[in-house]
Structure 1
Amino acid sequence: MSLHPTLQPYADAWAHSVEAISDLVQPLVEGEWNRRTPCPGWSVRDIVSHVIGLDCEAMGDPRPIHALPRDLFHVTSDHQRYMELQVDVRRHHTAPEMTSELEYTIIRRNRQLRNENRDPGTKVRGPLGVEITLEEAMRYRAFDIWVHEQDLRTALGEPGNLDSPGALVTRDYLLDALPGVIAERVDAPRSSAIVFDVSGPVEFLRTVRIDIKGRATLETAPALGPAASLSLDWETYVRLACGRVSYQAVADRVKTEGDTQLAERILRNFTVTQ
């Protein structure tokens, strides 16, 4: 048996992004590993540590026994504390230690994926020990690693792969979360519609429709007379949805029509990552 067809796109997206990350960091000198990235509180080294750590956990490795410092300003939730452990334990690793561990992790993970024959619905251990399906785990991994590839590209001034396999997984992942953002965080009028028109390497037009009970659904058909419409490029959409930038910082890259106050509330509450 081999990897289930449902899982193959996520494995391919992961492989594409992790190889890109390896290529990006391989030539870095020691000081460049400390560059800040758009991911709050994390340097280049921290992101690579996160990539290594999550892939090791996906392979069943035990989590490190390590006490986090109390002065990490960017760590404010249980989810962030969970993610920070694999990062902080590597904060003093050298550049050769980081690149060699990354390469070894990629080799091990590729071997595991080649031999993966479990059903997509198999329950596996997810973040914070919560059980999720294998499909959910691999989908999240493909999304997460592509976003962090983009963090590294921004920090290192090496743009690219905005339309890679990971970008397409990320598009679908973020769109799945969009109705929840509108229904739970934004006081959108009932029986209304909000249109998102995204351009660039990954382009799409989607309508979030709110019914009379306040429930939101995602549609591909454009809405006539929407309560608000937002037009922005793909990179800006990702940076907003992943909490890499405030909406004020990219206001000149977002065009809104209709109810401007509603559009502003949407942009203020756009982040879906934790």
Structure 2
Amino acid sequence: MTRAGLAAARSSTAQLAEIVPQVDDGQWELPSACAGWRVIDVVAHLAALASEAVDPPPPDPSLPKNRERYHDLRVDEPRGRSHTEVLDEWRHSTPRQLDLLEAAQEPPRADEPVEVPGLGTYPRHLLANTMAFNVFCHLRDDMLAPGGPLPLTLPEPTDDQVAPAIGFMLAGLPQMQGPELTAAVSQPLVLDLTGPGATTVTILPATGPDGDLTVAPGADATTQAHSTALDFIAWATTRNPWRDHCHITGDISAATPFLDRLNII
């Protein structure tokens, strides 16, 4: 099971809890590195994810199918609330979310498929990695300098924090963008990620017109994209341009369409 994902989610959540008391009212209003969101909106997003996990709302077909637009809508809803109200929701729902994710590590439910609207289907136990990714990315890339506006510091990220986030990103890569990304891969491409969270995988093209990409362990292609795993979190979510952080060896023309289209949410 993905107990490492649960530990990473708890670790990054604890670090966010350390940062929250250091942020003043003016800083909560600063624009974050997540386009269109203030710093307080980032926490509102995490609070909404936690609240939905512990008390899932009924299906609403009127809501946006695009996951990014759905997140924007959920962030817009509490914009009239005070900073304290947003933070109280986050503090209330997050421990309960973590408890649910811990319970999801136990069989027989751990391997049950769970559909995350707009993002794909995952075994229930992997949802811990989803939270590990969300909290780590929003805290480190959207809120804190140098990418974000808050001049506050945390210890350097550890492999234990980064690897589970990368694990979710690679699990979501074949699913989130569907045919758009599938069409961009015409031959195998290696992602070689170094530093904390290091891993090497090969992105394999779909084998048929209705197939999906496959992410296989190891390096099984001559065309390779090299990056640190920390940078991958930023550029694979389009927060930073991949060209600033990614070095390609082999057939650049084969790698570029994939790298241009990749946008993990």
**Residue in 1 aligned with 2:194?**
199
Alignment-derived partner of residue 186 in structure 1: 184
Q: What residue number does 1:152 align with?
A: 143
Deviation of the 1:80 alpha carbon: 3.0
Cα separation, partners in 2 of 1:27 and 1:99, compared to 1, 3 Å = farther
What's the CA shift for 1:33?
A: 0.7
Preserved contact between residue 143 and residue 169 of structure 1 (Cα < 8 Å): yes
Unaligned runs of 5+ in 2: none
1:54 aligns with 2:49: yes
Q: Is contact 1:230-1:254 (8 Å) kept?
A: yes
1:23 equivalenced with 2:18 (yes/no): yes
Q: Which residue of 2 is the match for residue 223 of structure 1? A: 220
Q: Distance in 1 between matches of 2:224 and 2:240?
A: 20
| CA-atom RMSD in angstroms | 3.6
Instruction: Calculate percent identity across the aligned residue pairs.
Output: 20
Residue 257 of structure 1 corresponds to which residue in structure 2?
249
Residues in 1 aligned to 2:128 and 2:254: alpha-carbon distance in whole angstroms: 35
CA contact (8 A) 2:101 2:128 kept: no
Match of 2:90 in 1: 102
- Please state whether the residue corresponding to 2:110 is helix, strand or coil: coil
TM-score by length of 2: 0.76
Flag the 1:262–1:137 CA change in 2: closer, same or farther, 3 A: same
- Structure-2 change in CA distance of 1:242 and 1:258 (3 Å): same
* Secondary structure at the counterpart of residue 231 of structure 1: strand
- List aligned pairs for 1:1-274, cutoff 5 A: 6=1, 8-60=3-55, 62=57, 78-109=66-97, 119-121=109-111, 126-127=116-117, 134-150=124-140, 151-153=142-144, 154-155=147-148, 156-157=150-151, 158=153, 160=155, 162-163=157-158, 165-178=160-173, 184-189=182-187, 193-210=188-205, 216-223=213-220, 226=222, 228-247=223-242, 251-273=243-265
219 and 23 in structure 1: CA distance in 2 versus 1, 3 angstrom threshold? same
Task: Describe the superposition over 1:7-44 as per-residue Cα deviations: whole angstroms up to 9, x where unpaired.
Answer: 54333222212221121122211110122222222121
Output the TM-score relative to the length of structure 1: 0.73
Of the two, which has the highest radius of gyration? 1
**In 2, Cα distance between the equivalents of 1:115 and 1:263?**
40
1:149-188: CA deviations, max 9, x gaps?
2222231243655335442111112223445679713142
Q: Distance in 1 between matches of 2:98 and 2:167?
A: 24
